[in-house]
Amino acid sequence: MKARVLIDNLTKSDLKPEWGLSIYIEYKGHPILLDAGASGLFADNAEAMGISLSQVEFAVLSHAHYDHGDGLERFFERNQKAKVYLQKDSGENCYSRNDDPFEKYIGLKKGMLKQYEDRFSYVDGRFSPLPGVTLLPHTTAGLEKTGKKAGMYVWERGGWRPDSFRHEQSLVLETDSGLVIFNSCSHAGADCIIRETEAAFPGKHIEAFIGGFHLFRSSDEEVREFAARVRDTGIRRLCTGHCTGDRAMEILKEELGDMVSQLYTGYEIQIA
């Protein structure tokens, strides 16, 4: 398995960054796209990196937020056939309610799900689009408490509901080294997602977790407590960026050392 970051907040080259995430994955000869950032920049970077988006077999939308899905319009221009898998509870209804203005829309571009309805494939729960590849929704109860604490809500049936992240899913790949988890923002907590993956794949070792950890608003104490919980899972490798945050990254490096790597636009990781 080889993964290459097409867009992230950071860059170390001429590749363009933005607030968002998009990762191109090659898995046993199958090209997969995870998310598409907030604009078409990911596609420009892919071209600069020699990656042909037209060859992608399928794409996965990790969750229904603009900074992961709005670039899909460019993907549809470059690729005429690949389906985009998303959880059935995905909609255009996600908001942040602790920002200025108080109610800030952070969902997918309005009208996109309808406009490109023939390209989206909604899945209900756990789903395997390919042998060794699993889309894993949250199974932990009470995640609306996490959404409320983070100030994240959905507008549903004419009212506000704390986001329980039913629209979020992990992409799990089986490799010779163990399971590799991709989750672009990990709103429920990366430690929670690791435990969910353990339950879904009993007896299998989890080698790595790649994605954002949504710690950019967390206190130092909260990040250290999070690091301890992740350490206790026994996972060997974390590659994180995007919504993790600079200060949180510093603390994770202090607490977890070399098991933590910083994602950036153009970053590559290969796991046998």
Distance (Å) of CA 243 to CA 55, 247, 261, 264: 29, 11, 14, 12
- State residue 98's pLDDT score: 76
Mean pLDDT of 174-183: 98
- State residue 101's pLDDT score: 60
Angle between helix axes 246-256 and 220-233 (nearest 10 degrees) is 40
| DSSP-assigned beta bridge partners for residue 161 | 154
CA-angle at 80, arms to 74 and 85, nearest 5°: 75
- State residue 198's pLDDT score: 97
Instruction: Assess contact for 73 and 112: CB atoms under 8 A.
Output: yes
Q: How many residues does the chain have?
A: 272
pTM over 0.95: yes
For 221, the token pair is: 């104490």
pLDDT tens, residue by residue, 98-157 = 766 678 999 999 999 999 999 999 999 999 999 999 999 999 999 999 999 999 999 998
pLDDT over 90 at 264, yes or no = yes
pLDDT tens, residue by residue, 216-237 = 999 999 999 999 999 999 999 9
For 169, the token pair is: 């899913």
Residues of the chain with pLDDT > 70, as a percent, come to: 99
